[in-house]
Structure 1
Amino acid sequence: METRANHFLIGLFTLLGLAAGTGLLIWFANVQVSREFAYYDILFKNTAGLSRAGDVRYNGVLVGQVADIAIDTRDPGKVRVRVEVDAETPVNEDTIATLELQGVTGVSFVSLQGGGPASAPLEPGPGERYAEIPSKDSAFQDVLTAVPELLSRAIELLDEVRGIVNDDNKARIASILKNVDEATADLTVTLQEVRTLTGELGVVVGDVRGFTGNLGELTDAAGQTIRTADATLDSARAAIERANAAIATVDRLVEGEVTALVADLRGAVRQADTVFADASGAIATVSGRVETLSATAEETLATATETFAAANRTLAGIDRLLAGTDGVVEQAEAAFATVNRVLDGDIAPLAGDVRKSVATANGAIERTAALLERELPAITREVRSAVGRANGFVGELEGLVIDNRAPLNDFIQSGLPQFVRFVQEARQLVLNLERVTARIEADPARFLLGTQTPEYRPE
């Protein structure tokens, strides 16, 4: 029986299937018929992991693929890679090409970076068909270049390790492990000694604190002694200053008052001399006039009758002269009285005051001298003794610090923190050992033989 078929429909569906398949292939291959491309050449030292149709990325964006890979004819030490990128890709004069690794598959791709907005587009050189993008080694290429050297060094290191790990060294390592095991066995004794050392260290710290307290008390006592000595010296200075002031007062009194007194005495003596001279002149005048009167009297006796009237006038003149002489005598007596009054009334009290002042000054000076003579040696001895004790104490303290400066600094900076850390680690080790001991005591067979005690099951 002949089968009927519509060949037209069959052919139509076949053609539609072929067209759909072709469209899918084109879509999967990402083929763009109307797309325009630009080609550039790049020179690399090594293109390991790069193949044709490899990706070309511009700042991480896929812009093309590798069109060709060949050895450069001008420099066989380099590889010329021709890339096909989108014509709109901004490849400029400062664009740099590097070879980067994509993921962990070992596949490489060409990475284009750089190119500012003000840069000029990259153009082919004279006689060149395609423009050449400058390249530089990437970190991936540096690693690839350094891998052989690293491998050779690793091989050398392994050879050296094999040389070190020989039978003799193995025996030494076994001996070291044995010694460590023995040292671990004695760890309990060591920890006990550490505890003892910790207690002794606490005692030493207590002694150091006590010494610090005594040191503070000694320092306070030395400071009090020095302050007492300063106060004593200040008192001595004040006494000396008062004595100097008294002596200066006496000097001023002697230089001022006595000098003035002597000047007054000299003035009074000069006045007395003047009075005496005046009195002597008056007496001499009276004597001369008496002699003249005697001569006149003799002449008058000779001619008494003739000159009686003249004699009367002469007698009257004599009376006036005698009256003047009495005035002169009274003035002389007044001058002598003044001199006597000055000598009796002013000089004596003044001299007494001077004697009292001098006596007072002498007494003050003597008392000051006696006080200084009595107290100053003792004060000086006490001050010297206190200063000597302070100097000795400071010297001993300085010597102690200087002699132990390096050990103290080392102990405080490194020894003490290490010791504290050692104590902490020792405590942790003791706790671990206690836990291990507890486990051993709980189930020795399981811990030592790796077996578990069978559970008892009654039949």
Structure 2
Amino acid sequence: METKANYVLVGAFTLAGLVGILLFTLWFARIELDRQFATYEIEFDSVSGLGRASEVRFGGLLVGQVTDLALAPDQSGAIRVVVQVQADTPVRRDSVARIEALGVTGVSYVAIEAGSFDAPLLSADPGEAPPRIIAGPSMLQSLTRGAPELMDEALSVMQRLDDLLGEANRDRVARILDNTESASAALAETLDDLSGTAEAITGVTDEARRFNDAWEALAGRLVALSDRAETTMTRIEALADAAGTTLDSGSDTLQAVGDLVDEADRYMAEEASAASEALRLMLEDLRAEIGLLGPEARRMIDSLATAGDVARTRLDEAAGLMEGTAGALARIGPAVEAAERAAVAIEGVADREIAALSRSARELIARTGRLVDEELAPMLSELRGTGQAMGDLVAALGPDIASTAESASRLARSAESLVAGAADGLAAAEGAMRSLDTAMQRGEAAFASADRTFTETARIAEEEIAPLVADVRSAASGLEAAIGTVSAELPRIGEDLRVASRAAALAFETFAATVARSGAALDGFTAEALPGYARLAQEARALVGNIDRMVGRMDRDPARFLLDDRAPAFRR
């Protein structure tokens, strides 16, 4: 056993160890002896979890610690917290201090916000109380304070959602869906009807196109017909001019015949009367001498009277024929108008009939000329000869009674021949008028044919196009009815959808406002509290492991763990 120990060495070693431990502690605690600090006061309503030496962070950076906690001297119930931060920390007048939790461990610390850049720094004059930083609610306090309102808003939203999804609204939604389904079915049927209508309209369009083509062809034919009608009318006008010229010539001829008849009447009225008076005087003087020839003279006079009556009758017939000719000429105007509307048929008829009429008129004029040349001229010559013979008879007073009677007989025969020629001329004129009437009848037949053509065209338009237009009209009516049904349902559907959308929009607006009010607190909680809780769980697991190991050591050797019976060893 050592009886003499080196206490100086042991003491020096002990002092060196203590100094090393002190330096290690200073290094480990990062204590800076030359650092300057600034002291501030903060008054909180609650400092749960906060204690002396708790951290003070400025914008998340560790800048100091809590040095004191005590009740406010004004007996307001607030807690005065004294913090000590680095002197160069830019604490401003609008900076706000809050109590926050660090990680998942829940260790509380004081967080100071920087404030606005243009605000002055917070400082105090020497000898005065430390400046006071404005205290703000912590995240947990914000959550706890806003939790009742948040729960009330959530309950209100849930109540509104429950009202929105109630029986009445469910029935409305069901009706809306049923109406939408029926509207979709009606719309599908309408689209099918529209497809059929489109096909029908396509067929109608094709029929209309074919009808248009046929109508264009008919229009072309009508144009050609109009051109031919114009040509025909030109020719008819030329023929009418020729016919007018012919009729003028016939009028001149008839005028000459009338003059000749007037001359004959004058002769019969004047010279024949004078001759009859002379004969009467001569007969009175010579009655006895011509007593034997009296019956023959009576027969001759009767023959002359009969010839005069026949001539007067023929002249009356000629006057009636002239009136018929004037009426026929008056009917030519309407006939020409009818010929304009039936130009195609009249063209051929006019070529044939008017040519025949012209030939008949020429024949009439030729026959009238021949009548004048062959009959009237000899008759006038014979009349002159008769007058001369009667003069000779008066001069002879008797010897030439037989020749006078023979001359009278020849005069009667000449008059009968003249009347017969006039009758033939009038018959020829009647034939020409009948030919003209036939031409007019054919023109009227052509116009009737044109009327039948237009009537058939109108019938086709009424029987073919009218049903087609009726089908299009009925299809359009069906389409209008379907669209009316859909449009009648759409307001109710739109109203139900608007009510539902307004209720949903109100609910979502309320929910969005609630989320907006609690968004900052939730963001802070998820950004800082949740990571702290994760670290707290890790540290708790490490602490539990350390405690487990410590308990194991205590179980194995409690006396050694508690008393540490190791004896010091001393050098001798």
Decide which structure has the larger Cα Rg and report it: 2
* TM class, shorter-length: 0.3 to 0.5
TM-score (norm 2): 0.37
TM-score (norm 1): 0.44
Looking at both structures, which has the greater relative contact order when contacts are Cα pairs under 8 Å and sequence separation is at least 6? 2
